[in-house]
């Protein structure tokens, strides 16, 4: 029997959003203030000026509902946007579900993930500000490749501190970053005080995102012509990603459906926010009842097992204090293969929504998500990034629940990137070498004793 309904739902270039969607005015409560790590007092725009251009700082604290996307940024978005949406007919069939499964595919960008949506915007505003070089950290390498790509297009230099474990496990991400012209160091590195401090205490440290952030921040703060760039967590990063959800709203309309549940995987929260925030906005403003699900790894269970408290964004203590679900800034998660999901905290705006009961969170073990990834590859053809496979697992769970209930649920998830640089992880899965990590409660409690005291 022939399929009914489209497979690919495409938009024209002219339908690339003209504005980013800012969720802040649609929130039931204002976001808690960001605090200075030394004084514990709220910080102002000037405190962030050594690290970011004022245009991005103003976006960080903006209460305007829509912020115009500069033409230069939209012109570059045209290289891969609007990104396609697919109906997963073959996955539905394999699951025998009456549910309709849709996914938005961000792996079509040059770097292979959603990350260039903000990398391009950040490089643009820094260039406008007269900055010559950007510094950053990268975990699995996706953000490093996205920012080095963006810097190449704007003629900026780029320095990347890559978590040491990934530097050796993901050599081709490293090559890709170098192909785009960036300098790259394995973190902890001897290049910075923060790196040297960690190396002195534990010379074999595999590194963590928290440590790499400390290095990149220190590098930018100690050089006048350099700024720092972060690939997730911050409000302006989430803002830039909302092109995903705005396009998805139009695409669902074209498909003649509206999702009952929208799903994204969460590392720092940016691809999740990018897809779901515009749908949360529809819930708030139009009384829609779409459920919103965040999917994270059991090995780094920030939203499902962390506490909602003020914590540092990095390990050493250079970043401001933000209120978020955290496992403690001293938490070093096990080296799981979804490297992009190994952060001790989450975006404050995502955490606020969870605290307000506006979204749900679930955690999946890594063997399960690789099984979901393989099922997806063998039905839909795309080999997903291990990070994205957490969203696939949740979509499968929803589709099977719908089958049980005999319900025609409409499911939408974000396929945040492809897994072409993660084949080593797939090899480990096929060889039966992947372990599941349940983080012990005692280790979480220990890390939480190091939370900064506030107020
Ligand atoms: C970086 C990355 C993630 C996790 O980061 P978020 O900020 O939570 O989106 C997820 N998927 C892919 C493909 C990534 O590259």
Report the residue among 275, 391, 416 best suited for mutation to probe ligand 1: largest number of ligand atoms under 8 A from its CB. 416
Quote the ligand 1 centre to 344 CA distance (angstroms). Answer: 14
CATH code at 102? 3.40.50.1100
Q: What residue numbers bound the domain in which 322 lies?
A: 8-16+69-112+236-448
Judge whether 206 lies within some domain.
no
Judge whether 162 lies within some domain.
no
- Give this prediction's pTM: 0.96
CA nearest ligand 1 atom 4, residue = 267
Could you give the 3-state DSSP secondary structure of residue 198?
helix
Angle between helices 243-255 and 270-286 (to 10 degrees): 60
Judge whether 332 lies within some domain.
yes
Judge whether 198 lies within some domain.
no
Ligand 1: nearest atom to the Cα of 106: 13
Judge whether 396 lies within some domain.
yes
CA nearest ligand 1 atom 5, residue = 267
Number of domains in the chain: 1
Quote the ligand 1 centre to 342 CA distance (angstroms). Answer: 10
In order, the DSSP letters of 227-294 are: EE--SSSSHHHHHHHTHHHHHHHHHHHHHT---SEEEEE-SSSHHHHHHHHHHHHHHHHH----EEEE
**Torsions phi, psi for 171 (to 5 deg):** -60, -30
Q: Is 265 in the pocket of ligand 1 (CB under 6 A)?
A: yes
Judge whether 3 lies within some domain.
no
**CB 312, CB 329: distance < 8 Å:** yes
Q: Is 241 in the pocket of ligand 1 (CB under 6 A)?
A: no
Judge whether 311 lies within some domain.
yes
Judge whether 29 lies within some domain.
no
Quote the ligand 1 centre to 234 CA distance (angstroms). Answer: 14
- What tens-digit pLDDT sequence spans the chain (455 residues)? 567 788 999 999 999 999 999 999 999 999 999 999 888 999 999 999 999 999 999 999 999 999 999 999 999 999 999 999 999 999 999 999 999 999 999 999 999 999 999 999 999 999 999 999 999 999 889 999 999 999 999 999 999 999 998 899 889 999 999 999 999 999 999 999 999 999 999 999 999 888 898 999 999 999 999 999 999 999 999 999 999 999 999 999 999 999 999 999 999 999 999 999 999 999 999 999 999 999 999 999 999 999 999 999 877 777 889 999 999 888 777 767 776 677 889 999 999 999 999 999 999 999 999 999 999 999 999 999 999 999 999 999 999 999 999 999 999 999 999 999 999 999 999 999 998 888 788 888 888 888 988 76
């Amino acid at each position: 029997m022939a399929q009914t309904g489209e497979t690919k739902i495409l938009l024209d270039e002219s339908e690339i959003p003209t504005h980013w969607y800012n969720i802040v005015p649609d929130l039931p409560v204002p976001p808690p203030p960001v605090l200075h790590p030394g004084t514990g007092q709220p910080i102002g725009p000037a405190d962030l000026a050594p690290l970011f251009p004022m245009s991005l700082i103003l976006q960080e604290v903006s209460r305007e509902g829509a912020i115009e996307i500069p033409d230069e940024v939209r012109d570059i978005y045209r290289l891969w946007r609007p990104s396609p949406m697919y109906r997963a007919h073959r996955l539905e069939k394999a699951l025998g579900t009456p549910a309709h499964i849709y996914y938005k595919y961000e792996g079509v960008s040059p770097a292979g993930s959603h990350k260039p949506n903000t990398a391009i915007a950040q490089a643009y505003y820094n260039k406008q500000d007269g900055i010559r070089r950007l510094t950053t950290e990268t975990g699995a390498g996706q953000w490093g490749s996205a920012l080095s790509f963006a810097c190449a297009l704007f003629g900026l230099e780029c320095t990347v501190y890559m978590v040491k474990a990934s530097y050796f496990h993901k050599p081709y991400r490293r090559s890709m970053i170098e192909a785009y012209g960036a300098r790259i160091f394995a973190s902890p590195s001897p290049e910075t005080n923060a790196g040297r401090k960690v190396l002195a205490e534990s010379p074999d440290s595999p590194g963590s995102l928290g440590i790499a952030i400390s290095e990149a921040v220190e590098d930018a703060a100690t050089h006048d012509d350099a700024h720092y760039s972060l690939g997730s967590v911050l409000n302006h990063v989430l803002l830039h990603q909302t092109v995903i959800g705005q396009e998805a709203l139009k695409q669902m309309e074209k498909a003649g459906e509206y999702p009952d549940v929208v799903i994204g995987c969460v590392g720092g929260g940016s691809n999740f926010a990018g897809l779901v925030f515009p749908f949360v906005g529809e819930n708030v403003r139009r009384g829609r009842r779409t459920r919103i699900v965040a999917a994270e790894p059991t090995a780094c269970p920030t939203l499902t097992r962390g506490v909602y408290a003020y914590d540092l964004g990095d390990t050493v203590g250079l970043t401001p204090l933000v209120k978020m679900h955290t496992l403690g800034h001293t938490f070093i998660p096990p080296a799981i293969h979804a490297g992009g999901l190994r952060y001790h905290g989450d975006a404050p705006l995502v955490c606020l929504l969870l605290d307000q009961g506006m979204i749900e969170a679930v955690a999946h073990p890594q063997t399960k998500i690789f099984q979901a990834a393989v099922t997806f590859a063998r039905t839909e053809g795309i080999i997903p990034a291990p990070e994205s496979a957490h969203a696939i697992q949740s979509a499968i769970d929803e589709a099977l629940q719908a089958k049980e209930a005999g319900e025609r649920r409409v499911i939408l998830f974000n396929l945040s990137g492809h897994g072409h640089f993660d084949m080593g992880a797939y090899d480990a899965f096929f060889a039966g070498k992947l372990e599941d990590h349940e983080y012990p409660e005692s280790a979480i409690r220990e890390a939480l004793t190091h939370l900064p005291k506030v107020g």
